[in-house]
């Protein structure tokens, strides 16, 4: 008679114990970043109803999802690595057939009434699959080129499908993400050097196969003033917005470039320029510091994990977030060609937020189960 109540209470006790192990400071950092997004989107829309309210509601739902994933045993996540990879590849194939076309690219698909970009989910799935492949491998096996060949093909398959959408920016980030996980796994640097030499040789051929708008982005990046009212308009207005912010900014809701609609895509790709205009160098630097704290927090979680699978997954997810932030900010500053990459948890958009928070949920599972060993260890 006493055993039955214990069996009933056990799941509740288990979940409570795992909730105590959640890194709540890390959760607070994510909430702070989403709050920055709310403030910026409030200004971008001129009122909370247009972008900001939807942003914070999506974040609340995504936060619950993240915490729920954090409760999932890391060994179960390990078992799901390959099925998720196969499912993500299937979505990439499906989006090329029935995907929604927008802005000249076929990148989105409707699932459960929600528009999503399968290439974003693919990056998380790739991290899990590569971590599963490498986590038990010895240095001798990793040094064997035949052992490294399958993960290279695992990276090239989704990269090729993403390029066909076409989505050059995400394809490059996916390739770099896969390379980062392989490097963290112990793959020797000389192998990466060979790949880089091969990429350099193939670059002219790749350039000849780019779409016209992709070539225009590269030309505009090199000389935006060559077409100030056309292809160079976005980056020129972004630089003006950043420069006009000065040290302290023009003030919230006071940005001239944003509110006079000179700044394009101010709620998505160029939201960092709007933040720089209204809050100045100090505000932009504070945002970059917050982004770096989140990246370093993910690395810290990786270092505390007792099993290699958890370490590789945490490092991969942290690097994915890092690439989001670096590419967006560098794009806004004109350091790299415009590629349509949002600023995570700040830009308006549900698909990117859900996939980023899905990744953070897995990261939190690594932290909660940091003392456990992977299933196949």
Segment 60-73, tens digit of pLDDT: 999 999 999 999 99
Residue 227 has pLDDT above 60, yes or no: no
pLDDT at res. 245: 85
Mean pLDDT of all residues belonging to the chain: 83
What pLDDT digit, counting tens, does each position of 237-248 carry? Answer: 888 888 888 899
Most confidently modeled of 102-106, 243-247, 338-342, 348-352?
243-247
- What residues have CB less than 8 Å from 84, skipping those under 6 apart? 124, 125, 128, 129
Per-domain boundaries in the chain? 25-363
pLDDT tier at 264, thresholds 50, 70, 90:
confident
Does the pLDDT at position 211 exceed 90? no
User: Residue 263, exposed/middle/buried by CB under 10 A (0-12, 13-18, 19+)?
Assistant: buried
pTM here is: 0.87
Q: Calculate the alpha carbon distances from 227 to 25, 215, 328, 340 in Å.
A: 46, 13, 22, 19
């Amino acid at each position: 008679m006493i055993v039955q109540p214990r069996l009933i209470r056990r799941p509740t006790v288990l979940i409570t114990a795992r909730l105590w192990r959640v890194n709540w400071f890390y959760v607070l950092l994510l909430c702070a970043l989403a709050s920055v997004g709310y403030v910026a989107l409030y200004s971008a829309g001129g009122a909370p109803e247009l972008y900001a309210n939807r942003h914070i509601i999506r974040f609340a739902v995504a936060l619950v999802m993240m915490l729920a994933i954090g409760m999932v045993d890391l060994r179960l996540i390990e078992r799901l690595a390959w099925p998720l990879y196969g499912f993500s590849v299937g979505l990439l194939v499906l989006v090329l057939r029935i995907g929604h076309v927008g802005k000249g690219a076929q990148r989105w698909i409707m699932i459960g009434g929600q528009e999503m970009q399968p290439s974003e989910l693919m990056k998380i799935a790739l991290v899990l699959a590569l971590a599963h492949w490498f986590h038990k491998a010895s240095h001798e096996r990793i040094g064997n080129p035949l052992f490294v060949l399958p993960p290279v093909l695992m990276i090239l398959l989704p990269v090729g499908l993403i390029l066909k959408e076409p989505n050059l920016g995400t394809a490059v980030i996916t390739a770099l993400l896969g390379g980062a996980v392989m490097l963290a796994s112990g793959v020797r640097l000389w192998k990466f050097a060979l790949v880089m030499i091969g990429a350099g040789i193939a670059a002219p051929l790749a350039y000849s196969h780019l779409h016209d708008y992709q070539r225009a982005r590269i030309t505009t990046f090199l000389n935006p003033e060559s077409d100030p009212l056309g292809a160079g308009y976005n980056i020129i207005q972004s630089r003006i917005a950043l420069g006009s912010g000065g040290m302290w900014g023009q003030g919230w809701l006071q940005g001239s470039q944003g509110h006079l609609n000179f700044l394009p895509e101010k709620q998505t790709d160029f939201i960092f320029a709007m933040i720089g205009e209204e809050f100045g160098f100090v505000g932009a630097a504070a945002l970059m510091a917050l982004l770096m704290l989140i990246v370093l927090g993910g690395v810290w979680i990786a270092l505390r994990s007792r099993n290699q699978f958890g370490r590789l997954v945490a490092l991969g997810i942290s690097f994915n977030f890092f690439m989001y932030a670096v590419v967006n900010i560098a794009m806004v500053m004109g350091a790299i060609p415009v590629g349509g990459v949002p600023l995570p948890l700040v830009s308006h958009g549900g698909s990117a937020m859900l996939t980023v928070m899905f990744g953070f949920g897995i990261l939190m599972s690594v932290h909660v189960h940091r003392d456990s060993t992977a299933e196949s260890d």
